[in-house]
A and B are shown apart, each in its own frame.
Chain A
Amino acid sequence: GNSVTQMEGPVTLSEEAFLTINCTYTATGYPSLFWYVQYPGEGLQLLLKATKADDKGSNKGFEATYRKETTSFHLEKGSVQVSDSAVYFCALRGAAGNKLTFGGGTRVLVKP
């Protein structure tokens, strides 16, 4: 079955530091890949997505590139802010299915 593995947190950074959260997946065919963000006490919000190999999703300074050869979708941001403190979830939606499979989430804490 499909699965998503992302690095465990928490990740603690200083403001303006570079952020990378690794995400790798296992799936048959060509899944769609997503990053969701959950701010404290809130639901999940779609951050970015990529639907085919080599696509780059981007939003709010975050980027992730769909790498089929390495089955990865790492999330990056060049300069984080305190407001980026949240839990980040990598997810995939299989080519033939309706369900999203989530990784375990990575908590990011940005200190001023």
Chain B
Amino acid sequence: SQTIHQWPATLVQPVGSPLSLECTVEGTSNPNLYWYRQAAGRGLQLLFYSVGIGQISSEVPQNLSASRPQDRQFILSSKKLLLSDSGFYLCAWSLERGYGYTFGSGTRLTVV
């Protein structure tokens, strides 16, 4: 069966520090991968998605970046965090259209 792992679960980082969040999927090949952010009390914002290794599409211009170094690995990064980067970050994967996404358990990031 397919599983998705996301870590860390919580993170407190100072303004200006770097960020690296990792997401891996097991039990499937060539999944579509997604990073979403959920600000406190708000809906979901798609940040990045990837349909293959090295292929990244950015939905919202910001100081975050994403990379897909391996088929089932998706990394969200920042060189210098801003206070506004605080939120709940969710990784997800999917296959063909007609299917929904499977989400990871999320990372709660607080920038102080």
Which of A's residues lie within 8 Å of B, judged by CB?
Answer: 32, 34, 36, 41-46, 49, 51, 89, 91, 93-100, 102-105
Contact = CB atoms under 8 A, between A and B. Distances in A.
A89 B45 CA distance: 12
Given A44-B90, A98-B51, A100-B46, 15 more contacts: A32-B97, A32-B98, A36-B100, A43-B90, A43-B105, A43-B106, A44-B44, A44-B92, A44-B101, A45-B103, A91-B100, A96-B97, A98-B94, A99-B46, A100-B34
B12 to A, nearest CB: 16
B74 interface: no
Interface in B91-112: 92, 94, 97-106, 108
Contacts of A102: 43-44
Given A43-B104, A44-B90, A93 B97 contact: yes
A47 to B, nearest CB: 9
Contacts of A45: 103
